[in-house]
Amino acid sequence: MNTKDILKAFPQPEGKILRTIDKEACEKAVEQIIAGGKKTVQEIVELIVEPGKGEDIQARHALHATAIRVGGPSNEKNRKAFASHLASTLSDDRPKAVKGFVIRQLQVCGGIEQGSAIANFLTDPDDHIYEYAAQALEAIGPETVTHFRKAYPKAKGAPRLTVLQGLGVQRDKDSREAFRKATKDNDLEIRLAGLWGLMRIASAEDAELLLAQSAKESGWGRIKATAYCLELAENLEANGKNKEARAIYLNIKKTRTGDHEEYLRESADRGLARLK
């Protein structure tokens, strides 16, 4: 059966709603896609177009259904093969919006083997593909952290923030210096991401830096930065570093003196009470 015939099993929506789905037919079609291997996957990807440029709902449905189907632990052989076939299409000449869709399917079924193919887009600002790449790598797991480390020095603009946040998501202690430098950046979002990263790795050595930098911020930035200080204190508590946590709570209670910062002082008091 050719690829277009396989896709007929997946319904076309009535308006914007899929009202009728033949589950048995879809299951059979997914099996045929898996059996068709690389050729079938590539042919389906070729049918996907940029949003607004044509009709491709059945092709998108087919790839997503297959990604979900092979994603289970009992399907490791099929998952690896399907993910490999999908990732191979990322090097082809096709719109970034289409590649972004492929990467979102790899977020469901991809493994470390696809990490490099996905990571190529971490620094690409077009069509939010850097966000899809980061999300996919984070879903694959902590073993992808090296891709974020390599990408950060090369990333500019919005991708730079996303990659830095990815390092924080991964709690990458080897990126401590990158987080520290980020706290001095001219961009507020980068500064906050640096503080957040230090909080995530529970860096007691950088407690003073977080407190000092948060005190320099104003408005929303000051609120967020102080919240990260409180979270760091909680993380330190959880790790048995009560002395360091107490110092943070005392600092916040002493320095957050504005009427609008009363809730921060109250949070610090609750932390101190837990440490008694």
In a domain, 255, yes or no: yes
The tokens 């409180």 sit on which residue? 230
Q: What count of other Cβ atoms lies within 10 Å of the Cβ of residue 107?
A: 19
pLDDT of residue 18: 63
In a domain, 114, yes or no: no
Task: Give Cα separations from 239 to 171, 203, 212, 233 (angstroms).
Answer: 15, 11, 23, 10
In a domain, 223, yes or no: yes
Q: What is the C-alpha to C-alpha distance for residues 101 and 123, in angstroms, rounded to an integer? A: 17
pLDDT of residue 12: 81
In a domain, 253, yes or no: yes
Half-sphere exposure of 181 (CA within 13 A, CB side): 7
In a domain, 22, yes or no: no
pTM of the model: 0.91
In a domain, 40, yes or no: no
In a domain, 75, yes or no: no
Q: Per-residue pLDDT for the chain (276 aa), expressed as one digit of tens each?
A: 799 999 999 888 776 666 677 889 999 999 999 999 999 999 999 999 998 888 899 999 999 999 999 987 678 999 999 999 999 999 999 999 999 999 999 999 999 999 999 999 999 999 999 999 999 999 999 999 999 999 999 999 999 999 999 999 999 999 999 999 999 999 999 999 999 999 999 888 999 999 999 999 999 999 999 999 999 999 999 989 999 999 999 999 999 998 889 999 999 999 999 998
Q: What stretch of H or E contains 154?
A: none
- Residues 121 and 129 sit within 8 Å (Cβ to Cβ): yes
Q: What is the C-alpha to C-alpha distance for residues 29 and 93, in angstroms, rounded to an integer? A: 27
Q: What is the C-alpha to C-alpha distance for residues 96 and 51, in angstroms, rounded to an integer? A: 11
The tokens 């979900």 sit on which residue? 68
In a domain, 247, yes or no: yes
- Residues 260 and 231 sit within 8 Å (Cβ to Cβ): no
Residue-number span of the structural domain to which 233 is assigned: 181-276
pLDDT of residue 22: 82
Alpha-carbon dihedral sign for residues 187, 190, 195, 196:
positive
Per the structure, how many domains does the chain have?
1
